[in-house]
Chains A and B, each alone.
Chain A
Amino acid sequence: MNSEFLIVDGVTKRFGGLQALGGDGGLSFTVPRGTFLGLIGPNGAGKSTTFNVISGVTKPDTGAVYLDGQNLSETRTPEIAAHGLGRTFQTPRAFPSLSILENVIVGADSAGERLGAVLSGRWRRDEPKLKEKAAAVLNRVGLGSRMTGSVASLSGGELRMLEVARQLVRDPKILLLDEPTAGVDPSLQGKLSEILARLHEDGTTLIVVEHNLHFLLRIADTVVVLQNGELLAQGSPQAIRSDEKVVAAYLGNDHAA
């Protein structure tokens, strides 16, 4: 019954005169619970727009996105996040005035973010637990030794991992990663693919936009290919690799052997 966890239903989006997403019928695809979905396509295919529509940053012109039966297109972004949907951004975002550890802790929904709890001081009990969890997550992404440092000391790749850590501390039900390996060195990439494989095992639904197909096609179990804002193909990595349309549109003719 709940196999169709995420449903993108006839979504269209125009920016000015440009049709960013969806042709005549709009963009539609479904993601069963627990899927590791790779989202690929040439530059300008609408991958990031799709992400923004799913996570509520951008509202679609027509169509809707449903998560677990809830219409996300009518839900505000923070509520979508509270609903268990996590995402990272194509350009990593951090909070420079917070320490690296705090950058992760702030990802959790602390009771202390309610004013009533603040004034009564009730939040103090939960704080050590949050810290511990954030520290464990930072260790997982390879930033365990940098906890007290400032965000400014992190490289681009480390910032990406920090953003992943901030989402992991929330235990998301569905996690969207926008180009997680861009600017990340091979050793961290190895860590990242381990983390993703582990999340996948635990039943987290994953959607990953990635240009690094070597990385993605090895670990994803389904791939959606976009072109000009429309669905070009959906299938297993093997099927996508041998799909002629995809090969021509995206992988280039060199791969067409």
Chain B
Amino acid sequence: MNVEAFLVAVLTFGCLFSVLTLSLNLQYARGGMINFGTVAYFAVGAYAYAIVTQEPPSGLDQYLIGLNGPWWLGFLVAGVGAACFAILTGWPTLRLRGEYLALTTFAFAEVLHSFLLNERRIGNGSVGLANVERPGISWADVPDSYVFAVAALLLMLVTIAVYRRILASPYGRAMDAVRDDEMAAEAVGKDVARMRFEVFVISAVPIGFAGALYAMITTLVSPDLFTAEVTFFVWIALVLGGERTMLGAILGTIALVVFQEVVRGIPFETVRSAQIAASVEHMLTGAIFVIILRWQVFERISFARSQAE
């Protein structure tokens, strides 16, 4: 196994998906909202980036719009697009609480998935948009994969900085109050509906950015990439790391990415051994989850750190 490629992949996808986990952490642990449609905002970001940057349709293309814009415009539109989708989905659903919100957001994500699959004028349906443009940034001999790793790291750091700023302010204090007791919060003038809506929309923006970055890295956006599995991946990462701290969310995500990359890196001689490995992977995954959840490994590490601060 190529150690360097492995580390770059872990850094890239670890940071990229950490952005999703951190956003979910903000929505769930601090905002008290269960969003089971995380992948939808990610997909909107990726598709928005592809549509803004790709060339107008030609030949066999079925999509309608290709703006041939610069990469940074695509990146910005990805964030704005995710926020718009959050406004569209949050406005009618945020009055719901708990598992009802979870079900509705999940349904929205499924609707979007189905829409992207069947409405070919958006992104060629199931074929998807291939050859998504990569920004032409290159420093001397530095390979693209390194640039993306650094970009993912930067995106994560900026996300952390913004979220920390929000949480450390009176706004964060009011968010905690709203999550703890909505009625008491309203009795001291906190606009519960407004705050929930704002948190929901704000936390969708970094997810949209992450979607754009993901599209740059894979150079392909297709409905296959944006299934509910992504949502579950992020939720599992959040549960693994513990929901109390941001560091926990990041540790959980990186652990999950490392695990996936390790499994992906194992070479197989025969189909049979690949099949065995696949079943062993499932068993191992289960065992690791049980161990981590039973002893709350990451939660302890990150909580001890936040106490020491």
> B-contacting residues of A (Cβ < 8 Å)?
55, 57, 76-79, 81-82, 86-89, 93-98, 102, 105-107, 109-115, 117-119, 121, 123, 127, 163, 166-167, 170
Contact = CB atoms under 8 A, between A and B. Distances in A.
Contact of A118 (B166, B179, B186, B189): B166
Contacts of B171: 112-115, 118
Contacts of B184: 89, 93-95, 163
A224 B171 CA distance: 40
A187 B50 CA distance: 69
Contacts, number: 93
B188 A98 contact: no
Interface in B150-203: 162, 165-166, 169-171, 173-174, 176-177, 179-181, 183-192, 198, 202
A111 B192 CA distance: 16
A95 B190 contact: no
Contacts of B189: 78-79, 81-82, 109, 170
Majority-rule SS of B interface residues? helix
A180 B188 CA distance: 17
In the complex, which range does the number of interface residues on chain B fall in? 20 to 34
Contacts of A79: 189, 191
Given A95-B181, A112-B171, A118-B169, A107 B176 contact: no
Contacts of B162: 119
Given A88-B187, A89-B187, 14 more contacts: A78-B189, A93-B181, A93-B184, A94-B180, A95-B185, A97-B180, A98-B177, A106-B170, A106-B174, A119-B165, A167-B187, A167-B188, A170-B188, A170-B189
Contacts of B176: 95, 97-98
16 contacts: A76-B191, A86-B188, A87-B187, A94-B180, A95-B177, A95-B180, A105-B170, A105-B173, A106-B185, A109-B189, A110-B170, A112-B170, A114-B171, A115-B198, A166-B188, A167-B188
A14 to B, nearest CB: 21
Contacts of A97: 176, 179-180
Interface of B: 162, 165-166, 169-171, 173-174, 176-177, 179-181, 183-192, 198, 202
A123 B169 contact: yes
B188 A106 contact: yes
B202 A106 contact: no
A124 to B, nearest CB: 9
A106 to B, nearest CB: 5
